Amino acid sequence: MQVQKEQNHISTIIKYFSADPRHYQIGFLSIFLIYGLAFLHFDLNLITIALIFFICFSTQLLFVSFASHDYGSLKSACISALSLCLMLKTGDYMVAALAALLSITGKFVFRYKFLGNRNGYKHFFNPTNFGIIAVLLFNNYAWISPGQWGSEGLLLFFIGSLGLIVLLKVKRLDTAFAFLLAYSALQFVRTSFILGWSADVFLHQFTSGTLLLFTFFMITDPVSTPSNQRARIIWSMLIAALAFYLSAYQFVNGAPLWALFLISPFTPLFDKFFKGEKFSWRRLTHQQKTKSKPAFSFVHYKNQLS
């Protein structure tokens, strides 16, 4: 009886965790942050981390208390806080706090009515992307450090593999692959054919943990991307083309993040001309709970045989 109760508790925990893809994303980003602090010695102190989390959670809570009352959206605020800790570099507490405030506020300010009143509103900026670029634009105490991850092959494989799990859950593999293929193709043509450099130079351009985090965890945000699959592919390729131009010819640091920021305001146009269903975390979580099967139980199996 005790064994059966323990198995039922484990089954309930697994079912809850797998019902919402945000749980996977929070877990993976937390692993990356712990790894960066422990082994890569990120220049990030605990006060900055705590401040970012406090501002993200309190701002999200304030807005949902007066609007949707969707307190499950605090999971999204947690993802934004983790992403800021991983991608934004600053030694100023006020800049970190401002980035967190703008990341969450941007979701409730920069939005548009999606397909009439029935489907509500949709924001078009990725929250973390908006917060980072906003503070980069208005002060000199913040920056992006793509090289902070080094070029460890195992770590990059790990990031990509975990990112694929999240994308399979939210059905956004098309967005990541369209961006990565377009961006790598443009870089390959320039590096190998125009400049005549070796393949090692081309491959080195993709040994960036920041690029993979952007590809698998930022550009694929299911809420702020175009709802139609064909539109997402075109949208992603435009971001790739702009990121390539900014990095190769304008030497912009963190070019993919700037490209996403500049292309995101066109998302409402893509949703207007390419019809699709608005993504909802609530609906997806409900579907996952409905479809999910109970975890394997030895007691249940034993009863089946008897």
Q: Is residue 189 part of a domain?
A: yes
Q: Is 143 helix (H, G, I), strand (E, B) or coil?
A: strand
Asked whether residue 169 carries a pLDDT value surpassing 90, the answer given is no
- Of 38 and 299, the structure prediction assigns the larger pLDDT to 38
Q: Is residue 5 part of a domain?
A: no
The DSSP H or E segment spanning 62 is helix 46-66
Q: Is residue 303 part of a domain?
A: no
Q: Is residue 284 part of a domain?
A: no
Q: How many residues does the chain have?
A: 306
Give the per-residue pLDDT at 287: 57
Beta strands, E only, the chain: 88-90, 111-113, 121-123, 142-144
- Average pLDDT of the residues in 174-180: 93
98 confidence band (pLDDT: 50, 70, 90): very high
d(CA 262, CA 242): 9
* Residues 200/206/208/212 CA torsion (nearest 10 deg): -160
Burial status of residue 241 (CB atoms within 10 A of its CB: 0-12, 13-18, 19 or more): middle
Q: Which long-range contacts (CB under 8 A, 24 or more apart) does 250-259 make?
A: 253/143, 253/144, 253/146, 254/144, 254/146, 254/210, 256/183, 256/211, 256/214, 256/215, 256/219, 257/87, 257/129, 257/132, 257/133, 257/144, 257/214, 257/218, 258/133
The DSSP H or E segment spanning 247 is helix 229-248
Residue-wise pLDDT for 235-248, tens only, equals 999 999 999 999 99
Check: CB of residue 166 under 8 Å from CB of residue 224: no
d(CA 142, CA 91): 8
This prediction has a pTM of 0.86
Burial status of residue 60 (CB atoms within 10 A of its CB: 0-12, 13-18, 19 or more): buried
Q: What percent of the chain has pLDDT over 70?
A: 81
CA 180 centroid distance within chain: 15
Tokens of 300: 């249940």
d(CA 300, CA 4): 9
d(CA 45, CA 91): 9
Asked whether residue 296 carries a pLDDT value surpassing 70, the answer given is no
What's the number of domains the chain is made of?
A: 1
- Of 69 and 181, the structure prediction assigns the larger pLDDT to 181
Give the per-residue pLDDT at 267: 95
Other Cβ atoms less than 10 A from the Cβ of 306: the count is 5
- Average pLDDT of the residues in 15-35: 84
Residue type, 144: I
The helices-and-strands tally (H runs, E runs) of the chain is 15, 4
d(CA 270, CA 30): 33
Contacts of 102 (CB under 8 A, 6+ apart): 130, 131, 134, 135
Residue-wise pLDDT for 28-70, tens only, equals 899 889 988 988 888 899 999 999 999 999 999 999 988 766 7
d(CA 108, CA 143): 25
Q: Is residue 285 part of a domain?
A: no
- Expressed as residue numbers, the domain containing 259 is 23-278
Q: Choose the weakest-confidence range: 26-35, 56-65, 69-78, 156-165.
A: 156-165
